[in-house]
Chain A
């Protein structure tokens, strides 16, 4: 395959996505055959663009919180003083991952009410594991002589962490964030069952009114976002890996 072909495909996808979000009416003829009884073809209970932005905001906030907590936890348990908390943090983070997001939503609603909050909690818990495990891998597989040299040069613990350990682990931590974001993008749709403003709203509206066009447009927007963000973050990751010399040519 030519090297420019994937870039061209991605570019086409971006153009298509932006066009659909800003002018959904253009695509009406395409989706028309999927509806029955003169039902609306394009989602009409809110702007698709607004929903998409809210969807992204929810995922961004949840991933940001998950990144801060997971990386902080990974840093803590890789310090000599925190080593004994490693098994405990592992189990806690694992529970977050094994607990189904739907169950988290069901439990969170009575506590924090309907809306964005329970969705944020579910996405946050779900996103912890990949970031935590990757941060742990990154921080524990640093080249031993580099860490030794940092100590020998007279760096304090904090200086070693910020100047050597975190920069060198950055590509691996980024990989965890990427997984977390993609999982979050898909999972956020179920947030609409508890009245969070996400693209799930479109899919659920389609399911309720038996409107295949709604289901399809909601699903396709989420899928396109996931593909584009995944590719974008992969590129950032490769760049970081090259900069950190972890991938010497």
Chain B
């Protein structure tokens, strides 16, 4: 659990982060979203003390994050940044091993961990381990950057626009991979982005920041349904709202009894994708199948449209 209590950071007179308090539950994804200059990155960097707060306390599992030296704290917290920041003079395997080496793990344990992470990220350890970062594609570099952040099995992973430099197709894949790994390791992730789409998709909770202040901190559905201010409403994008709301739900949860003609939709597709498929195919309803291929029922345009309406 991460408790942020009255954190303020001032540069000269200007408060970049202004009296922010929030609690991040363990094993959840918290997305901090805001425009540039909103203080979201500074807030993130105060958690691992790359920036020291002017006032306020941040507690990690109950312990003040100033109770150990900054470099020791940072070894226990994963950190991934935009443009990956891989060490160009070290091989992929050496890059991933950075924090374990700093922690003095023995060689076998480091090698085993590097192999495990590379396999997890679909990079063959034999083929890619000895390569240098500039020999990889952008998507591969980003994966190595996240693998490096996860190498020492941190409980907390901080990510500063980790997908910002990726093209849309690779970005979607990287987001899915991250969510899968988050579920697997139970890591608490705090992710900074300016992309509301990404925030709604990734976040168990979303923190909206504006001009150094925490404007709203709630679950995605709540942010979409009841934006706390006109700023949040603008950020959400009024025209996108119903679709973003739909994107939170799975088709499985919108299934109605009955049958329909056409290609079956998978049950774990998002309701937004289902609506798009319905509209595009011109049918009023499509069948839904479970992961095992069994029919679950059908999903209808009317049903989904009702779900896209503002929650009461």
Interface residues of A (CB under 8 A from B): 143, 145-146, 148-156, 159, 164, 167-168, 243-246, 248-249
- Provide the bound-state CA to CA distance between A245 and B134, in Å: 7
Of the candidates B71, B74, B82, B133, which one forms a contact with A245 in the assembled complex, judged by CB atoms under 8 Å apart?
B133
Inter-chain contact A145/B85, CB cutoff 8 Å: yes
Contact A153 B83 (CB under 8 A): no
A148 and B145 CA atoms in complex are apart in Å by 13
Residues of A within 8 A of B133 (CB): 245
Chain B interface, number of residues (Cβ within 8 angstroms)? 27
* A148 contact from B85, B99, B102, Cβ within 8 A: B85
> Closest Cβ of chain A: how far from B100's Cβ, in Å?
10
Q: Counting CB contacts under 8 A, is B217 at the interface?
A: no
Interface membership of B290, Cβ < 8 A: no
* Known A146-B87, A149-B85: A245·B132 in contact at CB below 8 Å: yes
Is B71 a contact of A155 with CB atoms below 8 Å? yes
Set A154, A159, A245: member contacting B89, Cβ < 8 A = A245
25 A-B contact pairs sorted by A residue (CB < 8 Å): A145-B81, A145-B83, A145-B85, A146-B86, A146-B87, A149-B81, A149-B86, A151-B50, A151-B74, A152-B50, A152-B81, A153-B74, A153-B148, A154-B72, A154-B73, A154-B74, A154-B75, A154-B76, A155-B71, A155-B102, A164-B87, A244-B88, A244-B89, A245-B89, A248-B134
Of all chain B residues, the one with the shortest Cβ separation from A146 is B85
Name the CB-closest residue of B to A168.
Answer: B89
Nearest-CB residue, chain A, relative to B72? A154
In the bound complex, what is the Cα–Cα distance between A71 and B134 (angstroms)?
28
B73 touches A148 (CB 8 A): no
With A145-B84, A245-B88 as known contacts, state yes or no: A153 contacts B98, CB within 8 Å.
yes
Q: Give chain A's interface secondary structure class.
A: helix
Tell me the minimal C-beta distance from B143 to chain A in angstroms.
15
Majority SS at the chain B contact face: mixed
CA distance A100 to B305 in the complex (A): 85
In chain B, positions 60-102 with a C-beta closer than 8 Å to chain A are 71-76, 79, 81-89, 98-99, 102
- B71 contacts A150, CB within 8 Å? no
A148 and B81 contact, CB distance less than 8 A: yes
Give the one of B73, B88, B133 with max A CB within 10 A. B88
**Which residues on the A side are within 8 Å of B98 (C-beta)?**
153
CB nearest to A152 among chain B residues: B79
Q: Which residue of B lies closest to A244 (CB)?
A: B89
A149-B84, A149-B87, A153-B102 given; 5 more Cβ-contact pairs under 8 Å: A145-B82, A149-B145, A150-B87, A152-B158, A167-B89
Distance to closest chain B CB from A70 (angstroms): 22
Task: Judge whether B88 and A168 touch: CB under 8 Å.
Answer: yes
The interface bits of chain B over 122-142 (1 if a CB of A lies within 8 angstroms of the residue's CB, else 0) are 000000000011100000000
User: In the assembly, what is the distance between CA of A245 and CA of B148, in Å?
Assistant: 18
Does B270 sit at the interface, judged by CB under 8 A? no
Residue contact B81 to A156, C-beta cutoff 8 Å: no
Q: In the assembled complex, how far is the CB of residue A52 from the closest CB belonging to chain B, in whole angstroms? A: 36
CB distance from B93 to the nearest CB of A (A): 15
> What are the interface flags for B272-303 relative to A under an 8 Å C-beta threshold, 1 for contact and 0 otherwise?
00000000000000000000000000000000
- CA distance in complex: A80, B158 (Å): 26
Q: Separation in Å of the A39 CB from the closest CB of chain B?
A: 56
CA distance A245 to B50 in the complex (A): 26
> Given the complex, which residues of B lie within 8 Å of A168, measured CB to CB?
88-89
Q: How far, in whole Å, are A249 and B145 apart by their CA atoms in the complex?
A: 21
A143–B88 CA distance with the chains assembled, in angstroms: 10
Q: How far is the CB of B45 from chain A (nearest CB, A)?
A: 8
Q: Nearest Cβ in chain A — how far from B141, in angstroms?
A: 11
Lowest 4 A-B CB distances belong to which pairs? A245-B88, A149-B85, A154-B75, A152-B79
Task: State the CA gap A146–B84 with chains docked (Å).
Answer: 8
CA distance A152 to B71 in the complex (A): 8
Q: Which residues of A contact B75 (CB under 8 A)?
A: 153-154
- Residue B42 at the chain A interface, CB threshold 8 Å: no
Q: Say whether, besides A145-B84, A245-B89, A245-B132, A152 and B48 are in contact (CB < 8 Å).
A: yes
